[in-house]
Structure 1
Amino acid sequence: MTTQTAISPAGITSGGAPLRIGSVALTVRDLDRMTRFYRDNIGLSLVETRRGLSRLGVGDDVLLELIHDPAARLVDRAEAGLFHVAFLLPDRASLGHWLRHAAQTGVRLQGASDHLVSEALYLADPEGNGIEIYRDRPSEDWSWAGDAVDMATIRLDLDALAAAAPDTPWDGMPADTIIGHVHLQVGDMEKADAFYEDFLGLDVTSRVRGAAFYSYGGYHHHIAANTWNSAGAGPRPTGTTGLHSIEIVTADPALHARLAARAKGQPSDAPTFTDPWGTVLRLRAA
């Protein structure tokens, strides 16, 4: 492993690191229903819509693409693919505001956790894709032991979180909401390390049984992978719902050039990588 930094610089965010997640694309069977869910329940704005495609985000920034395939088979939870896509809100007040909105509109949560570096709410969309909505604690408060950041799963006080919300009407996701990370289901952790750590050059910032967390530039993680539901899974079959692709954005020209050079035989302005389970990562310069 080549370590970029052992301790996060003060004020580091997922979006402030030299590498970040830009957008995520999902294959969906019911485009209208899924578009309404991410607009009305999650709070994203509809940036663009055309036949077979909805693009949602904040302002003009696209965070999520929904690609219509009415014949697609619903993905099996034992298959490799998406564990959850994580929307990062700018502060605790924003997360509490979303929680109040969820309660008022009947959004059903699947979990809520304090991870020490962050506070997170978990749910699923109508086709079973996992979603995390979270906020980070200040990076100067994260605890590191060498290259490993201290993360845990502790009960989150939802009443206290809701009390942090402003007493104003909900008006959708804040303008500086981004995708903070993507958590994947994979078939084998050694193969995941070989791809995300050795090939792409990400740091491993934490390990727990059956999972690893990968980062660049001192963030707690941009990508995670686990085998909790999918141990032994092979490449995803075509024609299923769920994860289509992930956009990786690089702010460092040298890093972009280094990664683009590894995508042999592809245009330098749009290189892509495919992990051992068929997850496509598209590289874009900021």
Structure 2
Amino acid sequence: MTAAVAGNDLPFALTRPIHVAAVGLKARDVDRVADYYRTILGLETLGTKDGAVSLGAGGTAFLEIAPLGPNGLEDDPRSAGLFHTAFLMPSRADLGRWIMRASQDRFAVDGTADHIVSEAIYLTDPEGNGVEIYADRPHEGWVWSNGTVNMSTLHLDLRPIVESAGAERAPYRAAPAGLRIGHVHLRVGDHQAAERWWMSEVGLQPVADYTGATFLSSGGYHHHIAGNIWRSRGARARDPQRSGLAFVEMTGSGVAAEKELVDPWGTVVRLVPGA
């Protein structure tokens, strides 16, 4: 499932040599989970095969939800797996329109954060998968020091984001054509080992290191991949019979050849050459 994209209006995250192309989830109830992403984000159905549903925006698929099977188990948040999938809005105004929709329809929101480099809203899907909906601040204004980007978790003021949508505030009825997955945050058993793995096997570079978490990227993005041990310290390989993360797909000009890797915790990482 390759989320190939083209054009000059891609967000900065997707113009980097290696970036996220797609995420796959295994669900106990595919229809329920797919309906959630259609409702919350306005994603469109772009394909179905063998019970799996491919969702995306602007004609590009980037989220696959596949059936887990009759003997599938619920996800265990203390195990390795998905912390959240982060959906990147093309602009702050798009995030503002989405916030208006979320308020009007009373979407269940877990929290918000100003990360300095971005502004984010956090939710959880029906099967416990974390969801981040965010917009980046202009990358020219990010502050770097010795290869480390300045990020934090601060109070988020929603008012200026909503105001950025303009006086007309066109209703958010469907995902903007440029909506994509900007980054993926993983639960791992050892964040330092995760950092080493993503550096050696995929070619990402560490850009931030917080207590119990590592953040890595390509080409000066604030992070394409993160891994934390906040609830999963010492976790072993993920049980494939549990719902949740199925795969992460990375693409870009920095991917030399198509191959499939598995990290130390059983996370499937697909590498696909791209532009």
TM-score (ref. length: structure 2) = 0.92
CA distance in 1, matches of 2:255, 2:114: 33
Q: Which whole-Å deviations, capped at 9, do the CAs of 1:1-59 have from their partners, x for residues lacking one?
A: xxxxxxxxxx9711010111001000001111111111112211111124411100002
Amino acid at match of 2:163: A
Are the equivalent residues in 2 in contact too, given 1:109–1:123 (CA < 8 A)?
Answer: yes
Equivalent position of 2:21 in the other structure: 22
Equivalent position of 1:157 in the other structure: 157
CA distance in 2, matches of 1:64, 1:142: 28
| Matching of residue 114 in structure 1 with residue 109 in structure 2 | no
Equivalent position of 1:283 in the other structure: 271
Give the counterpart of 2:208 among 195, 206, 209: 206
- How many corresponding residue pairs? 262
Give the counterpart of 2:230 among 228, 231, 242: 228
Q: Which whole-Å deviations, capped at 9, do the CAs of 1:41-84 have from their partners, x for residues lacking one?
A: 22111111244111000022011000012431111110000000
CA distance in 2, matches of 1:135, 1:190: 28
CA distance in 1, matches of 2:235, 2:259: 26
In structure 2, relative to structure 1, the CA distance for the partners of 1:199 and 1:285 (3 Å cut) is closer
Equivalent position of 2:93 in the other structure: 93
Equivalent position of 2:193 in the other structure: 191
Are the equivalent residues in 2 in contact too, given 1:30–1:70 (CA < 8 A)?
Answer: no
| Matching of residue 273 in structure 1 with residue 261 in structure 2 | yes
CA distance in 2, matches of 1:69, 1:186: 21
RMSD of aligned C-alpha atoms? 1.4
Are the equivalent residues in 1 in contact too, given 2:58–2:176 (CA < 8 A)?
Answer: no
Amino acid at match of 2:25: L
Unpaired runs of 5+ in structure 2? 1-9
Equivalent position of 2:81 in the other structure: 81
Equivalent position of 1:266 in the other structure: none
Q: Which whole-Å deviations, capped at 9, do the CAs of 1:125-145 have from their partners, x for residues lacking one?
A: 011100001011111100011
In structure 2, relative to structure 1, the CA distance for the partners of 1:52 and 1:199 (3 Å cut) is same
TM-score (ref. length: structure 1) = 0.88
Following superposition, which runs of at least 4 residues in structure 1 exceed 3 angstroms of deviation? none
- Residue 87 of structure 2 aligns to a residue whose secondary structure is strand
Unpaired runs of 5+ in structure 1? 1-10, 261-269
Are the equivalent residues in 1 in contact too, given 2:18–2:250 (CA < 8 A)?
Answer: yes
CA distance in 2, matches of 1:201, 1:54: 30
CA distance in 1, matches of 2:111, 2:16: 28
Are the equivalent residues in 1 in contact too, given 2:207–2:223 (CA < 8 A)?
Answer: yes
In percent, how many aligned pairs have the same letter? 43
Give the counterpart of 1:238 among 221, 237, 240: 240
Amino acid at match of 2:164: A
Equivalent position of 1:144 in the other structure: 144
Amino acid at match of 1:186: V
CA distance in 1, matches of 2:158, 2:238: 36
Amino acid at match of 1:32: D
Are the equivalent residues in 1 in contact too, given 2:192–2:214 (CA < 8 A)?
Answer: no
Are the equivalent residues in 2 in contact too, given 1:41–1:105 (CA < 8 A)?
Answer: no
